[in-house]
Amino acid sequence: MDFSLTKKQEMLKKLSEQFAVNELEPVAAEVDESHTFPEENFKKMAELGFTGIGVSRQYGGSEGGTLEKVIAVSEFAKVCMSSAAILSIHLIAPQAISRYGTEEQKKKYLPRLTRGGELGAFALTEPDAGSDAGSARTTAIFDRETNEYVLNGTKCFISGGSRAGVVIVFALTDPSKGTRGMSAIIVEKGTPGFTVGKVENKMGLGGSETAELIFEDCRVPAANFLGKEGQGFKIAMQALDGARIGVGAQAMGVAEAAVDLSVKYANERVQFGKPIAALQGIQWYIADMATKTEAAKALVYHAAYLADSGQPFTKMAAMCKLNASENARFVTNLALQIHGGYGYMKEYPLERMYRDAKITEIYEGTSEIHKVVIAREVMR
Ligand code: COS
């Protein structure tokens, strides 16, 4: 399989790298420490077209597909995991509207979510429906008289939920039908009955806000219905298949950076009269880290290739996410170890990378859920 990049993709990689180094890296530690959403940088992402990856130019998008997302997200993740997560998760909403939206919805929402700099969010998880997403209880009951859906329920752990202008909410339009009664609805910030609850204080990803969203008799016009009635769970699962490749890209990027930082440090750090790079113990660490990271990258690219060539990719998306996220934890842990006491200090990015890497094993589906998905696909 040929994973070499086209000229356009090479240019995107260069642009992503320059933007990451010039704009994201200088504020990465501060954004994390102060738990501040990098507002200015998100606007710049929109101006440069990153927020419109995978969306038609006709609606303000930048075209491209999964590989373009992988390129941008992994470059961002090398310096700022919060920014990588913000972009990766934001893209779920415009891409879902591109795929399932009516012409009217595309014209209304896509320009806002692409060049317009408005953040998108994806609201599936509930306090009692995490891994078991099919047990979500939020309802959206149709009111014939007003031609509106009335939403009631609470979503939690929603990335970007507190700032998003456009949220795709999954709710039961027919609670008697379980997952087949779930539908997807576009809800705009400011809709009466829609409020932001608790904003979480997390171990990592300080710059990417995570919030509770509360719907109390929140009336949404029927025109905001996304896809068909009862199609919501499938829309969510398909969106998650794509999103999981995005998490694979985050994990791949942070691991690549951890390898590079470790090589640099090992060459500079002198102990016992020579650089620690001369010690076989360190060389073996680096050899393992580099090999496993290359393997993670190959699976992420493979999953992106399948997605972009229109082939089934549920299994490979789960495999690449499971593998890259476990590798990100393994590699950032060893990188921190190689840096010793310095790695534990906030002056170095290692401790942040280690904390940020951990979430990739949990969000967009835990490692355990990915094993369920992979086993089902492999053993059918
Ligand atoms: N693409 C399209 N359709 C899918 C799908 C996929 N990847 N996965 C499942 N479906 C469909 C099934 O085909 C089934 O359709 P029918 O009703 O027509 O038979 C329906 O969805 C229900 O599927 P299933 O029976 O497999 O659902 P389960 O309740 O067993 O749940 C898992 C499946 C566990 C895989 C799902 O709940 C999941 O992914 N959980 C993790 C959720 C998650 O990632 N949360 C993070 C949220 S964002 S931070």
For residue 227, what pLDDT band results from cuts at 50, 70 and 90? very high
Third-level CATH fold of 120-230: Butyryl-CoA Dehydrogenase, subunit A; domain 2 (2.40.110)
Place of tokens 């199609």: 231
Residue 1: per-residue pLDDT: 79
Residue 45: per-residue pLDDT: 98
Residues with catalytic annotation?
364
> 178 C-alpha vs ligand 1 centroid, how far in Å?
12
CB count in 10 Å sphere of residue 14: 12
Q: Measured from the CA of 243, which atom of ligand 1 is nearest?
A: 48
Give which of 81, 55, 57 is closest to 68, Cα–Cα: 55
Domain residue spans of the chain? 7-113, 120-230, 234-379
124 lines ligand 1 (CB under 6 A): yes
> 234 C-alpha vs ligand 1 centroid, how far in Å?
7
149 lines ligand 1 (CB under 6 A): no
- The CATH code belonging to domain 7-113 is 1.10.540.10
207 lines ligand 1 (CB under 6 A): no
> 369 C-alpha vs ligand 1 centroid, how far in Å?
10
DSSP strands (E only) in the chain: 120-123, 139-143, 148-159, 166-172, 182-188, 194-199, 210-221, 225-226, 270-271, 274-275
Q: Measured from the CA of 134, which atom of ligand 1 is nearest?
A: 29
Fold match between domain 7-113 and domain 234-379:
no
Alpha carbons within 13 A on the beta-carbon side of 45: 30
What's the rounded mean pLDDT across residues 14-32?
98
Place of tokens 């078991």: 132
Q: What is the DSSP letter of 204?
A: S
Cβ burial of 203 (10 Å; 0-12, 13-18, 19+) is exposed
Query: What is the chain's mean pLDDT, rounded?
Result: 98
Q: Evaluate if residue 239 carries a pLDDT over 90.
A: yes
Q: Evaluate if residue 84 carries a pLDDT over 90.
A: yes
d(CA 261, CA 122): 34
Cβ burial of 109 (10 Å; 0-12, 13-18, 19+) is buried
Q: What is the DSSP letter of 129?
A: B
180 lines ligand 1 (CB under 6 A): yes
Instruction: Please report, rounded to a whole number, the percentage of residues in the chain having pLDDT higher than 70.
Output: 100
Cβ burial of 199 (10 Å; 0-12, 13-18, 19+) is middle
What's the rounded mean pLDDT across residues 55-82?
98
Q: What is the pLDDT of residues 250-282, one digit of tens each?
A: 999 999 999 999 999 999 999 999 999 999 999
- The CATH code belonging to domain 234-379 is 1.20.140.10
240 lines ligand 1 (CB under 6 A): yes
Q: What is the pLDDT of residues 166-222, one digit of tens each?
A: 999 999 999 999 999 999 999 999 999 999 999 999 999 999 999 999 999 999 999
> 126 C-alpha vs ligand 1 centroid, how far in Å?
15
181 lines ligand 1 (CB under 6 A): no
Residue 2: per-residue pLDDT: 84
Q: Measured from the CA of 363, which atom of ligand 1 is nearest?
A: 49
> 210 C-alpha vs ligand 1 centroid, how far in Å?
23
